[in-house]
Structure 1
Amino acid sequence: MTHRTKAPAIALLAVCAGLITSCAAPGGDRAESARPDPVADAASAVDRGNWPKADSDGLAKGLELPLEAYMQSYEESVTLDNAQRRLESECMAEYGLKVTFPPAGMNPPPNDNDANMERRYGITDRAAAEKYGYGLPEALQRQQRTELPALTQPQVEVLSGRTSLNPADTRAAPARDSYNGKEIPEDGCAGRADDTLGTRSLDLTLVSELDGQSLVRSQATPKVRAALADWSACMKDKGYTVDVPYNAIDLAPRAGDTPSKEEIAVAVADIDCKESTGLVKIWFTADAKIQREQIAEHRDQLNVVRKEHTNALSAAKSALGG
């Protein structure tokens, strides 16, 4: 769920992802006089009930990896996105252009951050497994329809500083120098919002890479391999032949959206065997040890990332009036 990379205008592109044609619909050069109404009511407009919790349920409850201190939570990503959209809308209003972006947070992921603790070592929540097997709750499977604004050509240029919102469009050219008598920034209002938030240089890639590496390395440690063998033997005793938890889902392929009784049975057995063998805590302990070593090795880089992220969040909250 990494939110920011070094590419400019990321919030703008996220809003228009998959709908470049709609977002870049051609239009006239007339000014639109109206005050922006970007995301002022975002908090009340979005149902936060399905947002992922910071703490997992089940066997992973209370487990927090060291690198999570450097990760971006889902709530933080929503704050940054909403601030970006508000700043973009306010900037465009200076050109006489009204654009209202939908609020962020309408289609949350199942995990709060990149660690994905609830499913990092396979499924761990027995109550959820009894209902959904290896699947997700229905609310997370349904994507809410997000009405995206169809932008006129002047809006595209003022927003992005280019003639297209698609960064892969080789035919795109720099935007016109000015609109409505006001100079257009090099990267448009989206770039100006990035500068205000300080997100141009914010890059959480290192954190994600280290997190992925620690998971792979920990699986290969002797204690985890022994625990995995115990888990596999437990599953064998229950009638299931499988080597690692990640492959257990293949024991009962799903034909539709609803889990079968067999899938639920496999999922429950999977978690029960994790509990009886102590697999999750053993794996977490090895994982956390590796991450502490990674942090010590990359401390300076990680501290820069955390500082930039903290500053960006502070700027975002100010932009949202918080």
Structure 2
Amino acid sequence: MSVRLRGAVGVLLTVATAACSTAAATEPRVAVPTPGVEARELSIPFDRYNLSPSDIGILEGAEELLIRDCMRRRDMGWEVLPQSAAEDVEPANRRRYGVVEPEIARLFGYHNPPDRPTVARRAAARAGRMRSLSAKERQFAYGEKDGCLQQARNHLEQGTPQVDEALFNRLISETFERSQADPEVVQVFRAWSTCMREQGLQYADPLAAITDRRWMKGGPASQEEIRAAQADVGCKAQTDLVSIWSAVEKRIQDDAVAAHPAEFHALREAKDRQLAAARAVLARG
């Protein structure tokens, strides 16, 4: 069974990333900075068992080569997508606690920043390839039972243990919710809220700020939104909110791992084996 669970985390974090994302689909009006250190250094215990965007890039790169070989055996071509640069890939927990990067807040407010150049190039190449595939090529590539993509995934998952995806998904959600109710986090939310109120902004916590309906619209961020996002990031720094919240979440997730040792061992083994298989494919080209 696949351990490709990043999507499950995405469901959990919808509330933290619900600010309009259409900016990422339009032509950037400003240079998009690389992800900031504030986002790149965020980590949680469950990261050891889940696939990061970078890990998914490794798997997809291997899949591309396996699909190419499979299509060639069927006398069909396959244009391998260009790889995204590592520094351009979205950090795994970038918006877990809302906006945390000062430069992103200054340029985009609560909107998701546009893709970095190599990520955008890969997405455009994928869309172009899909448009150019004939119905027959699409079936051979993506057919559910014997398509080349499914064969590629079967190859990468060969020998991986069964994992309890439902349990992991449930724990992802439950531990995040529990962290928000922890007394330490409640206290730092109050301090952050007081800091925001001193700047004329009324929010109970960072997730309320990032999901303000005023920011849920297309086009670039307004000056009002940018001001709020900058205040948000500043108040997080002033109150030490991110380090306090992440420390609480670490404790809660470590307890969850200790309570389900066999299940988490299987998740880690499945992830490691898939990535090892993918790196072997990439090494031989």
Identify whether the pair has TM-score above 0.5, normalized to the shorter chain: yes
SS of equivalent residue, structure 2 residue 95? helix
For the pair 1:136 / 2:119, whether they are aligned, the reply is: no
Q: Residue 128 of structure 2 corresponds to which residue in structure 1?
A: 147
**Which has the greater radius of gyration?**
1
Q: What do the CA deviations read for 1:221-265 (whole angstroms, capped 9, x no partner)?
A: 111112111211221121111111112242853665222222121
Q: 1:210 to 1:52 in 2, by over 3 A?
A: farther
Q: Residue 195 of structure 1 corresponds to which residue in structure 2?
A: 154
Q: What do the CA deviations read for 1:27-51 (whole angstroms, capped 9, x no partner)?
A: xxxxxxxxxxxxxxxxxxxxxx989
For the pair 1:71 / 2:55, whether they are aligned, the reply is: no
CA distance in 2, matches of 1:84, 1:253: 37
Q: Give the helix-richer structure, 1 or 2.
A: 2
Q: Partner amino acid for 2:102?
A: R
CA distance in 1, matches of 2:225, 2:49: 36
1:13-162 map, 5 Å: 57-58=37-38, 62-103=41-82, 105=84, 111-113=90-92, 116=93, 118-139=94-115, 144=124, 146-148=127-129, 149-153=132-136, 155-156=137-138, 158-160=140-142
Q: 1:265 to 1:3 in 2, by over 3 A?
A: farther
Q: Partner amino acid for 2:241?
A: L
Q: 1:57 to 1:287 in 2, by over 3 A?
A: same
Q: 1:51 to 1:295 in 2, by over 3 A?
A: farther
Q: Residue 222 of structure 2 corresponds to which residue in structure 1?
A: 260
Query: Are the counterparts in 1 of residues 3 and 50 from structure 2 also a CA contact under 8 Å?
Result: no
Q: Residue 261 of structure 2 corresponds to which residue in structure 1?
A: 299
Q: How far has the Cα of 1:188 moved from its partner?
A: 4.0
Identity of aligned residues (%): 27
- Provide the aligned length of Structure 1 versus Structure 2: 247
For the pair 1:274 / 2:236, whether they are aligned, the reply is: yes
CA distance in 1, matches of 2:180, 2:174: 10
1:156-305 map, 5 Å: 156=138, 158-160=140-142, 165=143, 187-198=146-157, 205=165, 206-249=167-210, 250=212, 253=215, 256-305=218-267
SS of equivalent residue, structure 2 residue 174? helix
Higher relative contact order (CA 8 A, sep 6+): 2
Q: How far has the Cα of 1:101 moved from its partner?
A: 4.4
Query: Are the counterparts in 1 of residues 32 and 114 from structure 2 also a CA contact under 8 Å?
Result: no
Q: Partner amino acid for 1:123?
A: V
CA distance in 2, matches of 1:97, 1:51: 39
Q: Residue 21 of structure 1 corresponds to which residue in structure 2?
A: none
Q: 1:127 to 1:159 in 2, by over 3 A?
A: closer
SS of equivalent residue, structure 2 residue 134? coil
Q: Structure 1: which 5+ runs fail to align?
A: 6-48, 168-185
CA distance in 1, matches of 2:240, 2:157: 44
CA distance in 1, matches of 2:147, 2:111: 42
Query: Are the counterparts in 2 of residues 251 and 266 from structure 1 also a CA contact under 8 Å?
Result: no
Calculate the TM-score normalised by the size of structure 2: 0.72
Q: Partner amino acid for 1:295?
A: V
For the pair 1:321 / 2:283, whether they are aligned, the reply is: yes
Query: Are the counterparts in 1 of residues 105 and 226 from structure 2 also a CA contact under 8 Å?
Result: yes
Query: Are the counterparts in 1 of residues 196 and 235 from structure 2 also a CA contact under 8 Å?
Result: yes
Query: Are the counterparts in 1 of residues 45 and 250 from structure 2 also a CA contact under 8 Å?
Result: yes
Q: What do the CA deviations read for 1:157-181 (whole angstroms, capped 9, x no partner)?
A: 5445xxxx4x6xxxxxxxxxxxxxx
Query: Are the counterparts in 2 of residues 86 and 320 from structure 1 also a CA contact under 8 Å?
Result: yes
Q: What do the CA deviations read for 1:113-150 (whole angstroms, capped 9, x no partner)?
A: 2xx2x321111112321222112334459663532241
Q: 1:51 to 1:188 in 2, by over 3 A?
A: farther
CA distance in 2, matches of 1:130, 1:188: 45
CA distance in 1, matches of 2:96, 2:90: 10
Calculate the TM-score normalised by the size of structure 1: 0.65
CA distance in 2, matches of 1:191, 1:263: 43
Q: 1:123 to 1:232 in 2, by over 3 A?
A: same
Q: Residue 4 of structure 1 corresponds to which residue in structure 2?
A: 4
Q: How far has the Cα of 1:218 moved from its partner?
A: 0.4
CA distance in 2, matches of 1:133, 1:278: 20
